[in-house]
């Protein structure tokens, strides 16, 4: 129970004495598109250090773009992305590389190197970034992380021989083999068996609590993320912006049925439904200072 105020503080992005801290990762009024297609139109959100946010949307809603942008793989046309209060574009080459080194990335298609064995795929970041580490130490670390994801028996295999779920587990192992500070997950549990997904979510939660790893997840189905308490906040990505954002628990408690269905059943189609009239009315009648910060409809794509 003592964890609750801490979680709430994290959600609000405050320190123990209530002072606001610069979020670990912040998007502000970000616009981005591909030729003939607008993907992000005024996207704004933030994730405090050690916090977890899941952005839920339909297929083609810009989830992968958000994740890739958070890693600096694509850059916004307009708007700013900040890392601990600093504009990502202001980071020097070395600073950006350090940021990437501390960032674990789980791709929608796993993106393993197909001509390298599972072991070598997971060992790659260590072999590249830790020149002082001998092969024995690297082997021990890789075995440990593979064992954690029940993939040690597949260490000598090539990715092509693995199932979708197994490839995803190897991708998780590779993302966590370094001292990760930020985890960017793009639809992380697609194709992963229920039991394995729950186990992975449990591992992630342990990591988040022990190392204060910050988590940004984009997904269609978020049941495992919510069930295991992996994320504290949920945002709805719609029309290229965060349409609604709030604490997961509050959404469930307040019975805002459209979002509850999304988080429990994973039916992203419900996003198209308007927010329930009763909830809207209750929000409208609440004075701004007393309004629950955990459940607000975000006007114009800006986070309150």
Partner 1 sequence: MEMVFNPWWLPELIGRRISGGVLYLREVFALFYLALRSVWTEGILARKGLRLVGRITFNQLRFTGYDALPRISFTAFTFGSIVVIQAVDFLGMWTSLEDLYHIITLIIVREVSPIIIALILIGRSCTAISTELANMKLNREVEALTSMGINLEYFIVLPRLVGFVVSVVSLVVYFNIVALVGGYAAAELAGKMPISFSVIRLLESVGAKDLFVTLLKGGIFGAIIAVVGCHHGFSVGISFREVPQVTTKAVVNAMVMCFVVNTVISISV
For position 113 contacting partner 1 by CB under 8 A, the verdict is yes
For position 114 contacting partner 1 by CB under 8 A, the verdict is yes
Selected from 28, 109, 228, 264, the binder of partner 1 by CB under 8 A is 109
Per-residue binding letters, 243-282, with partner 1 (x by CB under 8 A): ----------------------------------------
Selected from 60, 131, 274, 288, the binder of partner 1 by CB under 8 A is 131
For position 142 contacting partner 1 by CB under 8 A, the verdict is no
Distances (CA, A) of 203 to 149, 199, 231: 8, 6, 13
Per-residue binding letters, 166-185, with partner 1 (x by CB under 8 A): --------x-----------
Which of these ranges, 22-30, 95-103, 209-217, 222-230, lies near partner 1 under the rule CB under 8 A? 95-103
For position 73 contacting partner 1 by CB under 8 A, the verdict is yes
Contact residues: partner 1, CB under 8 A: 68, 71, 73, 97-101, 103, 105, 107, 109, 111-114, 124-125, 127-129, 131, 174
């Amino acid at each position: 129970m003592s964890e609750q105020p801490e979680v709430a503080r994290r959600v609000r992005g405050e320190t123990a004495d209530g002072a606001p801290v610069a979020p670990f990762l912040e998007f502000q009024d970000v616009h981005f598109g591909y030729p003939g297609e607008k993907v992000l139109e005024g996207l704004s959100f933030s994730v405090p250090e050690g916090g977890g946010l899941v952005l839920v949307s339909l297929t083609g809603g810009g989830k992968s773009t958000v994740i890739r942008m958070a890693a600096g793989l694509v850059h916004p046309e307009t708007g700013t992305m900040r890392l601990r209060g600093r504009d990502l574009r202001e980071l020097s080459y070395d600073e950006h590389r350090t940021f990437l080194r501390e960032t674990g990335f789980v791709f929608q298609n796993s993106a393993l190197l197909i001509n390298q064995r599972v072991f070598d795929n997971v060992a790659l970041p260590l072999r590249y970034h830790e020149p002082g580490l001998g092969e024995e130490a690297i082997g021990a670390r890789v075995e440990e992380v593979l064992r954690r994801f029940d993939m040690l028996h597949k260490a000598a295999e090539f990715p092509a021989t693995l199932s979708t779920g197994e490839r995803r587990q190897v991708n998780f192992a590779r993302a966590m083999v370094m001292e990760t500070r930020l985890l960017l997950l793009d639809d992380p549990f697609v194709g992963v068996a229920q039991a394995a997904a729950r186990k992975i979510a449990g591992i992630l939660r342990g990591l988040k609590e022990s190392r204060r790893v910050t988590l940004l997840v984009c997904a269609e189905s978020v049941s495992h993320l919510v069930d295991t308490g992996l994320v504290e906040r949920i945002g709805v990505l719609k029309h290229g912006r965060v349409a609604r954002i709030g604490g997961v628990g509050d959404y469930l408690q307040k019975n805002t049925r459209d979002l509850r269905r999304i988080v429990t059943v994973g039916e992203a189609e419900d996003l198209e439904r308007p927010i329930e009239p009763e909830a809207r009315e209750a929000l409208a009648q609440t004075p701004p200072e007393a309004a629950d910060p955990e459940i607000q409809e975000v006007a114009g794509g800006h986070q309150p």
